[in-house]
Amino acid sequence: MSAASRAKRNNPQIDVTVLEKTLDVSYSACGMPYNIADPARDMNDLVVRKADEFRTKNKINLMTGHMVNRIDTATKTVSGIIFSDIIALGSNSSVVNTDDTHQDVVNTCDARQDVVNTDDARQDFSYSYDKLLIATGATPVIPDLPGFDLPGVMPLKNLEQGRKIKAFIEKNNVQKAVIIGMGYIGLEMCEALRARSIQVTMVKPGSQFLPWMKPELADFVKQELDANGIKLCYGKIKKIEHQSSSKHTLSVVCENFTLDADMVIVASGVKPCSDLAIAAGLKVSVANSIAVDKTLKTSNDNIYAAGDCADAFNVVSGEKCWIPLALRANRAGWAVADNVCGIKTELQGVAGTAVFKMFDLQITRTGLSVKEALASGFDPVEVIIQTRSKAHGHPGSNTIHVAMTGDKRTGLLLGVQMVGKDGVAHRINAPAVALHAKMTVAEFAQTDLGYAPPFGPVWDPVLTAANQLLKKM
Amino acid sequence: MSAASRAKRNNPQIDVTVLEKTLDVSYSACGMPYNIADPARDMNDLVVRKADEFRTKNKINLMTGHMVNRIDTATKTVSGIIFSDIIALGSNSSVVNTDDTHQDVVNTCDARQDVVNTDDARQDFSYSYDKLLIATGATPVIPDLPGFDLPGVMPLKNLEQGRKIKAFIEKNNVQKAVIIGMGYIGLEMCEALRARSIQVTMVKPGSQFLPWMKPELADFVKQELDANGIKLCYGKIKKIEHQSSSKHTLSVVCENFTLDADMVIVASGVKPCSDLAIAAGLKVSVANSIAVDKTLKTSNDNIYAAGDCADAFNVVSGEKCWIPLALRANRAGWAVADNVCGIKTELQGVAGTAVFKMFDLQITRTGLSVKEALASGFDPVEVIIQTRSKAHGHPGSNTIHVAMTGDKRTGLLLGVQMVGKDGVAHRINAPAVALHAKMTVAEFAQTDLGYAPPFGPVWDPVLTAANQLLKKM
């Protein structure tokens, strides 16, 4: 929708059609855990703009309930199936769709995985294009194991899934939940579920908690989970079973233990929805994301890809990466609109900046971890420091932990990770900009960052880390 | 002290002598308003390290009560007067000095302005040097008008002045205060005095509130002052008088009005303490600050200057500037120590990043204002935007106002100013780093800043400002 709106702003004469499988076209996906946490808030509060607004105000030919299942690059057409009952739903004022018939359609954005249950709801469509944008996003990875289709076993990626989780909690008196996976979404859901007084256990295969994070920093995240009564279990997951005899209706069966639950959140990561692109012969790269150049063009001259389905250049390594985050998705949408309208735009790439909140903790990163730096051929040196979020003696100051990595050969800053309860989140942006500028650690250490006692020490934590790192380089 | 400590760390064999007029050698000057605000806190909480620690742990020959009044560059000696009674005070555990005899000595750091009242407290000293660092700081500008020496009329720059203000409030049942000046310190003192239930009126000559700030943004600062009951008066100040007949002992007489007060805080700015350097024939630049090169060397090969007494290069304009702030002072101290010890260090300069808190408001800037940009020969274009501190629909979100300036000719980012109640302070550091990297607005607009709903919208306010500014460039 970012691309469609911007294309119409660039050139009101351009004919823009959007084909969207679901009914939700513009919402804050990242806000879902915070909304689920609060029974007083409606899930539709997250809707930024309704489909009809795009139709009437932006003059976009927006077709909801349209699932594309084929791109024909030779004839420059896309074709697929219309779900007329979804469209009918869209014409009501309520857009909440809890009808089980459509569960599978809404759950996945990738045509090849969809199962359509009712033949009479089908109707074919076909559109021709001059330029095509694939913005199919990403979809949760659902382990191919028994029981992941049971009621109460739910992923969280799109708004419809958010509505289902929230409705499930409210209807089923959920007291015990298992979260499969320990990534951003799983960790944000911990806080949301605890806010609803739900007991939470997280489980994942393998044994490494937040593998991208320095173990010393990851330990603080674990401590915060522990302080909030979240249990962490590690073990191979074998299946999920329905329990009719127990107080709790589900059990997650792992190799050496079994976890009871009223609800299971599947948060084992996401993958790009690129099957449609692959079938059309487009090149893919990291994690099967659609390969795009700096203008967001795919291997086909008339096809662009943007958002969580597409790859990006990493500004630190110069290599392709797949980091599905919201800012890049928006920015890429705009860039496609500009390029299609003849305003040549190149995106330099991403630094991999990410931030999330978990209970009282702020957790953030930018650039490469030591492992990633090694893989990209750097000679990483790193330092971990502990400092304060406010000035010496200022009330409300808290500990900030900073891990910073530089390249011994070139002196370049490579990455920063931070954890703390106060003043962490926005602090990542200074080193993020330094990564874009390809600053050395020595150059970054000289930057003139703001200082006032209520907001930090004289030497900002990222500067202290840079000063310490310099000694090792 | 930063320079002295680092020199000893670099080379424990080096002979380091520090000559300090007062007893306080290492304290958080910027923390004084917050300390004054809180009757439960002791002013000595702001002391980071006591003089004796530097003597015993760092092996620094630290001479307090030593006021240098002459530098002889030919013989490479500094000479001055010892205040043996100040030294005696320093040997007590209490370092609070409220003895009126020393008031003038402690109030100013500049030898030429000092008046020594007691001859028997005097004793001469002389030290030779290989390399000399002048770190005399800055001193409050006291208008040359009648009554500014009355009891209860006080500036705030060094710790002793902070102690005096706090003691005065406590001893004199201060109910009404006038602050002369409306800069950082005056504004921070507003909050401190309101916290002590003191009625506050600010007064300054001229009519422009925060002249460096975009008027649209300055209006929000005024609104916050108004919401907290602070009155602003503009007019030429003629004198301060003692009132024996009134409930309030002081009156600030201005051209068209008179303000009653129990206490007057003089916060009309500071000036570099450079008289000693000027007398020694050293070059000075902006505002009479001591001119230094990137290695912090003055016009004399054996003399360095660092801290609020010295100038700096502005990384945006490339010109000399005088911006007396704590981070630069510390950094410059380190750089001098390194250069003196043979570790060649150059400081690239300052971006002019500053931040302060006033009641619930966070106010910050970096780089050049439009006026400064014009003066430096740029062709400034600017934009003012209003956005939110958190994501769409996220609770606790507040308005952030951003003014951003770019150069039409080169596309360079020139400066940013921000005002708001939530998430403003640390946000200035990303554009500050961009200024160091000489990024264009277009390049800055592409940076990958962190996003999570509790911490900001998908497009960080500084990115939204950059996107809007790009349209005008």
Range B247-269 average pLDDT: 96
B261 has pLDDT over 90: yes
Among A172-181, A383-392, A451-460, B105-114, the minimum mean pLDDT is found in B105-114
Of the options 3.50.50.60, 3.40.50.300, 2.40.110.10, 3.30.70.890, the CATH number for the domain spanning A153-266: 3.50.50.60
Cβ distance A450 to B460 less than 8 Å, yes or no, reads no
Test B356 with A452 for CB contact under 8 angstroms.
yes
Question: Residue B94: what pLDDT?
Answer: 33
Q: Does A432 touch chain B (CB under 8 A)?
A: yes
pLDDT-derived band at A85 (thresholds 50, 70, 90) equals: low
Distance CA B374, CA B369 (A): 9
Do A434 and B432 count as a contact with CB atoms less than 8 A apart? no
Q: Is B268 on the interface with A (CB under 8 A)?
A: no
Per-residue confidence (pLDDT) for residue B110, from 0 to 100: 38
What's the mean pLDDT in B392-414?
94
- Looking at residue A89, its pLDDT comes to 59
Whether the predicted pLDDT of B66 surpasses 60: yes
d(CA A200, CA A359): 13
Q: pLDDT tens digits, residue range A28-61? A: 999 999 999 999 999 999 998 999 999 999 999 9
Q: How far is B108 from chain A (nearest CA, A)?
A: 23
Q: Is A449 on the interface with B (CB under 8 A)?
A: yes
Here the tokens at position B219 are: 């209006």
Cα angle, residue B440 at apex, residues A464 and A417 outer, rounded to 5°:
30
Least confident of A43-52, A101-110, A219-228: A101-110
A385 beta partners: A402
Q: A104 falls in which pLDDT band (50, 70, 90)?
A: very low
Lookup result for tokens 């000293």: B125
Nearest residue to A353 (alpha-carbon basis) of A334, A377, A388, A327: A327
For residue B194, the model assigns a pLDDT of 97
Question: Residue A405: which of A448, A453, A367 has the closest Cα?
Answer: A367
- For A194-207, write each residue's pLDDT tens digit: 999 999 999 999 88
Checking if the pLDDT of A118 tops 80, the result is no
| pLDDT exceeds 50 at position B95 | no
User: Inter-chain contact B351–A447, Cβ cutoff 8 Å?
Assistant: yes
Contact with chain B for residue A252, Cβ under 8 A: no
Instruction: Summarize pLDDT for A396-446 with one digit per residue, the tens.
Output: 899 999 999 999 999 999 999 999 999 999 999 999 999 999 999 999 999
Q: Between helices A429-436 and B429-436, what is the axis angle to 10°?
A: 30
Contact status, residue B356 vs residue B188, Cβ threshold 8 Å: yes
| Architecture in CATH for domain B354-472 | 3-Layer(bba) Sandwich (3.50)
Chain A touched by B194 (CB under 8 Å)? no
**Per-residue buried b or exposed e for B358-368, using 16+ beta carbons within 10 Å of the residue's own CB:** bbebbbbbbbb
What kind of fold does domain B2-139+270-340 have according to CATH?
Answer: FAD/NAD(P)-binding domain (3.50.50)
Give me the pLDDT at residue B111, please. Answer: 35
The verdict on a CB contact (< 8 Å) between A453 and B327 is no
Looking at CA atoms only, how far is residue A455 from chain B in angstroms? 7
pLDDT digits (tens, 9 = 90+) for B339-394: 999 999 999 999 999 999 999 999 999 999 999 999 999 999 999 999 999 987 78
Contacts of B318 (CB under 8 A, 6+ apart): none
Mean pLDDT (chain B, rounded): 92
Say yes or no: A361 contacts chain B, CB-CB below 8 A.
no
Interface residue A313 vs chain B (CB under 8 A)? no
Residue with tokens 């989140």: A425
In this structure, which amino acid lies at residue A303?
I
Q: Of A383-387, B204-208, B271-275, which range is least confident?
A: B204-208
pLDDT above 70 covers what percent of chain B? Answer: 92
pLDDT score for B428: 98
Dump pLDDT digits (tens) for B176-189: 999 999 999 999 99
Provide the angle, in degrees to the nearest 10, between the axes of the packed helices B184-195 and B215-227: 20
Say if residues A429 and B450 touch (Cβ distance below 8 Å): yes
Contact B46 A392 (CB under 8 A): yes
CB of B12 less than 8 A from some CB of A: no
- Residue of B48, B393, B425 with shortest CB distance to A31: B393
Q: How far is CA B36 from CA B151, B162, B169, in A?
A: 18, 7, 9
B425–A45 CB contact, under 8 Å: no
Question: In the prediction, which pLDDT does B105 show?
Answer: 26
Looking at chain B, the whole-number percentage of residues with pLDDT higher than 90 is: 88
Which chain B residue shows the shortest CA-CA distance from A38?
B395
Q: How far is CA B75 from the centre of its chain?
A: 34
Looking at the complex, report in whole angstroms how far the Cα of residue B357 sits from the nearest Cα belonging to chain A: 7
Is residue B87 very low, low, confident or very high in pLDDT (cuts 50, 70, 90)? low
- B426, B440, B459, B462: best to mutate for the A interface, most A CBs within 10 A: B426
Of B347, B353, B246, the closest CA to residue B306 belongs to B347
Contact: B353, A434; criterion CB under 8 Å: no
Burial class (CB within 10 angstroms; exposed 0-12, middle 13-18, buried 19+) of A46: buried
pLDDT, position A103: 29
Sort out which chain B residues have CB atoms less than 8 A from A331's CB and list them. Answer: 446
Phi/psi zone of residue A152: left (φ > 0), alpha (ψ -120 to 50 degrees), beta?
Answer: left
Confidence at residue B115, expressed as pLDDT on a 0 to 100 scale: 39
Domain residue limits, chain B: 2-139+270-340, 153-266, 354-472
Measured at the alpha carbon of residue A471, what is the angle toward residues A466 and B2, in degrees to the nearest 5? 75
pLDDT in tens, A227-252: 999 999 999 999 999 998 888 999 99
Interchain contact, B45 vs A393, CB within 8 Å: yes
How high is the ipTM of this complex?
Answer: 0.92
DSSP 8-state class, residue A136:
-
Give me the pLDDT at residue A93, please: 34
Distance CA B457, CA B454 (A): 9
Which chain B residues are Cβ-neighbours of A34 within 8 angstroms? 394-395, 453-454
Neighbours of A355 (CB within 10 A): 25
Residue A317 reports pLDDT greater than 70: yes
What does the pLDDT read at residue A59?
96
* Interface touch B350/A448, C-beta < 8 Å: yes
Q: Does B317 touch chain A (CB under 8 A)?
A: no
d(CA A32, CA A166): 9
Comparing CB atoms, the residue among A41, A351, A459 nearest residue B448 is A351
CB B432 within 8 A of CB B353: yes
- Of the pLDDT bands very low, low, confident and very high (cuts 50, 70, 90), residue B207 is confident
Question: Hey, is the C-beta of B434 within 8 angstroms of any chain A C-beta?
Answer: yes
pLDDT-derived band at B244, boundaries 50, 70, 90: confident
Q: How close does chain A come to B442, measured CA to CA in Å? A: 10
One-letter amino acid for residue A445 of the chain: A
**Closest-CA residue to A289 (of A302, A268, A303, A306):** A306
Same fold, A2-139+270-340 and A354-472: yes
| Contact state of A357 with B449 under an 8 Å Cβ cutoff | no
Angle between helices A2-10 and A326-340 (to 10 degrees): 30
> CB distance A30–B452 less than 8 Å?
yes
Query: How much is the pTM?
Result: 0.92
Q: Which token pair is B293?
A: 């090169």
